[in-house]
Amino acid sequence: MKAVILEETRKISVREVPDAEMKDTTDVLLRITSTAICGTDLHFYEGRMRGIEGGVIGHEPLGVVEEVGSAVKTVKKGDRVTVPTHICCGFCAMCTEGNSSACLTTNPGAAGAAYGYPNKGGYQGAQTELLRVPLADANCLKLPGEPGDHWEDDFVLLADAFTTGYHGVAIIEIAPGDTVAIFGAGAVGLLAAYSARLRGAARVYVVDAIAERLEKAGELGAIPINFLQGDPVEQIREQQSKWRSGPAFRQEKPLGGVTCAIDCIGFQARSKTDYSREDPLWVTEAIAELINPAGRVAIIGVWPLKDPNGVEPSLKEGNLEVPWSKLFNNNVRIAMGRDDDKRWNGKLRDMIINGAAKPSQVVSHRLSLDDAPDAFEKFDRREDGYIKIILKPA
Ligand SMILES: [Zn+2]
Ligand SMILES: [Zn+2]
């Protein structure tokens, strides 16, 4: 089968590798019709998270079941399915509580497994033609329609991007009337903004510095904030003060920030004064500055345990400096971590089928597997409007 391989840092190739094979009676083999490139893949591509070199990259597949293990009960050959990035068992102490991204059995000795991901069980990645899906009954989400139909690019986003964006708004219970600041306008940030709108947020700000991504945020009904054109906290407070003037908001000056904020960037944030360098600390500082008393904060951008290339010694050790006292004294609630994708993917699928959600609005490029090396290069440089790329193996 043809597959996208991360050969070494900043070197992607597309080449023939041995076909994925069934290993257990609980497996299915998936013939992939669409498979997305994720911002997380860029952390591996840049060598900032290591351990999958020489293997297949990717964790966002959609396809059709080609072969079914004898113990699989609910999936049959020919079914159209997507599977969550985080491989789960469905029966362990974490899975039964809905915490599927911390499954205890699929990566023994640790909590959580994933396709094509360092330290997540060594499972083959998904940017290829064939994928072995372990524990198929727990992982396969059945989908209507046919490959290549008008849902194809929506359904592939159920593997990660849409569920993760939705996870960010759900874990802080974004509800009608909330004001939301989202940091990062990659696919996850954009889909978090979209999800906040779906849940009735009154105003959603999206902070980024790339023109095409900010434009997309505007198309999705959010207010774009370019952090290179002035301090983003001040820009948002300024916008809020205009909106919140008038009799309805008297005595509410301390509430001039936002009720909710989401970090969709993580450990490789670009400096807000010099885009050419990294400064992962400013986003948390900005959120602490901007969040209203009793506000809620979600951190869903990736933070690896250690970052040997971190720009400061504390970051190399994975110790982020957080303005804890400011957050405590404002009664701020914080939630963070990986997406329990299985908790959301069925509900979001039904919203897509019923026309209540169209996440594929964030897709910028549809390419063949052979285009992957070029796509990684351009996506990594955030150029030519590369926001979300879907590779089509067929
Ligand atoms: Zn992803
Ligand atoms: Zn489990």
Q: What is the pLDDT of residues 78-127, one digit of tens each?
A: 999 999 999 999 999 999 999 999 999 999 999 999 999 999 999 999 99
- Sheet bearing 203-208, strands edge to edge: 223-226, 203-208, 179-183, 258-263, 291-299, 333-336
pLDDT for res 246: 79
Determine the Cα–Cα distance for residues 58 and 93; give it in Å rounded to an integer. Answer: 27
CA 163 → CA 154, 168, 212, 269, 339, distances in Å? 11, 9, 22, 22, 7
- Pair type for strands 55-56 and 2-8: antiparallel
Say whether pLDDT at 250 is over 80.
no
| Ligand 2 centroid, distance to 337 Cα (angstroms) | 17
pLDDT given for residue 212 in this prediction: 97
At 283-339, the pLDDT tens digits run: 999 999 999 999 999 999 999 998 988 888 888 998 888 999 999 999 999 999 999
Q: Identify which ligand lies nearest to the alpha carbon of 338.
A: 1
Q: Is 321 helix (H, G, I), strand (E, B) or coil?
A: coil
For ligand 2, the distance from its centroid to the CA atom of residue 99, given in whole angstroms, is 8
Please, which pLDDT band fits residue 36 given cuts at 50, 70 and 90?
Answer: very high
- CA–centroid distance, 23 to ligand 2, in Å, is 19
Note whether 390 and 158 are within 8 A (CB). Answer: no
Cα(257) to ligand 1 centroid in Å equals 30
State in Å: Cα 171 to ligand 2 middle: 20
- Ligand whose nearest atom lies closest to the CA of 191: 1
How far is the centre of ligand 2, averaged over its atoms, from the C-alpha of 210 (Å)?
A: 38
pLDDT tens for each residue of 51-62: 999 999 999 999
Distance 84 CA to ligand 2 centre (A): 13
CA of 33 to the centre of ligand 1 (A): 17
Average pLDDT across the chain, whole number: 96
Distance (Å) from CA 209 to ligand 2 centroid: 39
Say what the pLDDT of residue 247 is. 78
Ligand 1 centroid to Cα of residue 36, in Å, is 8
Nearest ligand, measured from the Cα of 98: 2
What is the whole-number distance in angstroms between the Cα of residue 121 and the centre of ligand 2?
13
Torsion angle (degrees, nearest 10) of CA 321, 338, 214, 236: -50
Q: How far is the CA of 60 from the centre of ligand 1 (A)?
A: 6
The 10s digit of each residue's pLDDT in 121-164 is 999 999 999 999 999 999 999 999 999 999 999 999 999 999 99
Q: pLDDT per residue over 224-249, tens digit each?
A: 999 999 999 999 999 999 888 877 78
Q: Convert the pLDDT of each residue in 342-351 to its tens digit.
A: 999 999 999 9
**How close is the Cα of 160 to the center of ligand 1, in Å?**
5
Q: What percent of the chain has pLDDT over 70?
A: 100
* CA–centroid distance, residue 104 to ligand 2 (Å): 5
State pLDDT tens for residues 153-195: 999 999 999 999 999 999 999 999 999 999 999 999 999 999 9
**Percentage of the chain with pLDDT > 90?**
92
pTM: 0.97
For ligand 1, the distance from its centroid to the CA atom of residue 245, given in whole angstroms, is 40
CA of 325 to the centre of ligand 2 (A): 36
Ligand 1 midpoint to CA 338 (Å): 11
Q: How far apart are CA 41 and CA 159, in angstroms?
A: 14
